[in-house]
Amino acid sequence: MFVSKNLGVNEKNHLTIGGVDAVELAEQYGTPLYVMDEDLIRENCRLYRDSVQEFYGGHGRVLYASKAFCCKAICKVVSEEGLGVDVVSAGELHTALSAGVPAEHICFHGNNKPADEIEFGILSGVGRFVVDNPDELALLDSLAGKAGRRVKILLRITPGTDAHTHDFIKTGQIDSKFGMAIENGLAMEFTKAAYRMKNLDVCGIHCHIGSQIFELEPFTYTARVMLSFMADVRRECGETMSELNLGGGFGIKYVEGDQPVAYHRYLEQVAKEIDAVCAELDFPRPFIYLEPGRSIVGSAGVTLYTVGSVKEIPGIRTYVSVDGGMTDNPRYALYQAKYEVLVANRAGDDADWRVTVAGRCCESGDLIGENLPIQQVNSGDYLAVLATGAYNYSMSSNYNRVQKPAVVFLKGGKSRVAVRRESLDDILKNDLI
Ligand SMILES: *Cc1c(COP(=O)(O)O)cnc(C)c1O
């Protein structure tokens, strides 16, 4: 009945997350609160890892795209499950390294990595840099030379795939700040330049076609385009690339009607396509990388709030205000992301009200959603917003000097704090007078 399979309702009519009473969590840890079901996260990691084993003979690695949700605890969990980690900044890299993720299993992304962060990556020994453009290629080569290291790279290529998704999160087309396009010849120029670099070792290519994608076809099509490009490189440069990173972007269920592809089906189809194209082009089957972010953590998260005011504007709408908002979840304000909400202490009741859930910030656009079906709700109730595990905590801010919530992990029916709630002193910690 809920969007995530780890949710239920207990005999007290309370929402349960991984079998744990959400109302008890709200009372024990306070609100707003991010709750992450570690058991479900581990299960998601295994689904991906096992599918690489089953459909691709284990000739690949799954990298967790940590931008979806990054803290030491999650890096440790995914690493224990055999995944590597994608990072896009020194901050994410430092987090992953501090959590004990082996540097060689870290992949460093980003369309404009600052020089000092590149140096940090080189000296840490990250496994792969994904190089975005010619300027970065030259910069990385010179920094690698300065450090006396040879650096392994993948080249970010734009395959030109339209993944039928929201414009703001679509990155596969020619007009993109990410990567170099095949269609206009720039990708090939870029590749030739990469092979000329003294301190770089070109392992292969990378693409990422978008996010929250529900169809299989954009992925299989992209695999074909990328492999054809690898065959073109072999013809034009005489070099055979051995690695193909297919990115992430697999959709999850946020609301009724969302129909994500089962992740093992994804790899089954893509592996078939890779085998077919490799046979057609007489190209050796590459080592592959998958980079799921959202689909590892999204469904595992629930945000709990306390309801403050409930204000009915007759004939217009009812505003239900909560003790968080765009500071912990800016996704509605950014691109009208949809969520399912419910009253955690009345979870089994009919959702026969319609309300707008508003945050506490001084910004009219600070909403969690509009016209949402919900149970009868009063001041003092606990509100749960479902499937908030991805791009919530990682996009949180201190706007209005609101403190960031705690993150609690659930495992085997027990809870623990993975990230402490910010204190008022944390808010001041960098201020000088
Ligand atoms: C964001 C991103 C991902 C993860 O995307 P999801 O939609 O969260 O799976 C993977 N790879 C790259 C390069 C990304 O930018």
- Per residue in 220-275, pLDDT (tens digit) is 999 999 999 999 999 999 999 999 999 999 999 999 999 998 888 899 999 999 99
Percent of the chain with pLDDT strictly greater than 90 = 91
Does ligand 1 come within 6 angstroms of the Cβ of 211? yes
Question: How far, in Å, CA of 310 to CA of 377, rounded?
Answer: 8
| 21 and 114 in a common domain | no
Confirm or reject: Cβ of 208 under 6 Å from ligand 1: yes
Write down the mean pLDDT value for the chain: 95
Same domain, yes or no, for 352 and 253?
A: no
Residue 398 has pLDDT above 70, yes or no: yes
Say yes or no: 252 and 113 in one domain: yes
From 70, 71, 107, 362, active-site residue: 362
Q: Over range 174-200, report the average pLDDT.
A: 93
Q: What percent of the chain has pLDDT over 70?
A: 97
Same domain membership, residue 416 and residue 324: yes
- Please choose from 61, 208, 250, 331 the residue to mutate so as to test ligand 1's pocket, defined by most ligand atoms within 8 A of CB: 208
Residue 73 located in a structural domain: no
Residue 368 lies in a domain: yes
The verdict on the CB of residue 79 being under 6 Å from ligand 1 is no
The answer on pLDDT for 165 being more than 70 is no
Q: For the chain, how many structural domains are there in total?
A: 2
Question: Looking at 292, 320, 355, which one is the last position of a domain?
Answer: 292
| Same domain membership, residue 345 and residue 324 | yes
Angle at 212 between CA 208 and CA 213, to 5 degrees: 70
pLDDT digits (tens, 9 = 90+) for 257-271: 999 988 888 999 999
In this predicted model, what pLDDT tens digit does every residue of 301-316 receive, in sequence order? 999 999 999 999 999 9
Whether residues 260 and 315 fall in one domain: no
Is 271 found in the same domain as 361? no
Distance CA 163, CA 222 (A): 10
Determine if ligand 1 sits within 6 Å of the CB of residue 291: yes
Task: State pTM to two decimals.
Answer: 0.96
Domain end, chosen from 250, 274, 292, is at 292
The domain boundary residue, chosen from 246, 269, 292: 292
Residues 262 and 313 in one domain: no
Rounded mean pLDDT, 333-345: 97
Torsion sign across C-alpha atoms 272, 277, 282, 288? negative
Indicate whether 171 pLDDT > 60.
no
Give me the pLDDT at residue 169, please: 41
301-313 and 382-386 beta bridge pairing:
antiparallel
Q: Is the pLDDT of residue 170 over 60?
A: no
Q: Is the CB of 249 under 6 A from ligand 1?
A: yes
Task: Tell whether 374 is covered by a domain.
Answer: yes
**119 lies in the same domain as 20:** no
Task: Look up 362 and say whether it is catalytic.
Answer: yes
CATH number at residue 155: 3.20.20.10
Asked if residue 67 is part of any domain, the answer here is: no
Closest-CA residue to 299 (of 374, 392, 224): 392
Two structure tokens written together for 149: 């290291």
54 domain-assigned? no
Contact 13, 406 (CB under 8 A): no
Q: Which pLDDT score is estimated for 177?
A: 83
- Give the per-residue pLDDT at 215: 87
The CATH number linked to 423 is 2.40.37.10
Note whether residue 410 is domain-resident: yes
Distant-in-sequence, close-in-space partners of 146: CB < 8 Å, separation ≥ 6:
none
195 is in an annotated binding site: no
Co-location of 180 and 244 in the same domain? yes
Q: Give Cα 412 to chain centroid, integer Å.
A: 24
Tokens 């050796």, located at residue: 284
Give domain status of residue 71, yes or no: no
Structure tokens at 416: 């623990």
Predicted local distance difference test score (pLDDT) of residue 1: 76
The length of the chain, given as a count of residues: 433
Report the atom number in ligand 1 closest to the C-alpha of 206.
13
**What average pLDDT score do residues 50-58 get?**
97
Question: Residue 167 has what pLDDT?
Answer: 41
Q: Which atom of ligand 1 is nearest to the CA of 212?
A: 7
3-state secondary structure the chain: CCCCCCEEECCCCCEEECCEEHHHHHHHHCCCEEEEEHHHHHHHHHHHHHHHHHHHCCCEEEEEEHHHCCCHHHHHHHHHCCCEEEECCHHHHHHHHHCCCCHHHEEECCCCCCHHHHHHHHHHCCCEEEECCHHHHHHHHHHHHHHCCCEEEEEEEECCCCCCCCHHHCCCCCCCCCCEECCCCHHHHHHHHHHHCCCEEEEEEECCCCCCECCCHHHHHHHHHHHHHHHHHHHHHCCCCCEEECCCCECCCCCCCCCCCCHHHHHHHHHHHHHHHHHHHCCCCCEEEECCCHHHHHHHEEEEEEEEEEEEECCCEEEEEECCCCCCCCHHHHHCCCCCEEEHHHCCCCCCEEEEEECCCCCCCCEEEEEEEECCCCCCCEEEEECCCCCCHHHCCCHHHCCCCEEEEEECCEEEEEECCCCHHHHHCCCCC
* Average pLDDT value for residue range 98-114: 97
Q: Can you give the pLDDT at residue 187?
A: 97
- 286 and 308: one domain? no
365 belongs to an annotated ligand binding site: no
Domain that holds residue 358: 7-37+298-428
Token reading at 159 = 């395959």
Separation of alpha carbons 374 and 370, rounded Å: 11
The C-alpha atoms of residue 294 and residue 415 are separated, in whole angstroms, by 22
| Same domain (yes/no): 363, 317 | yes
Judge whether 56 lies within some domain.
no
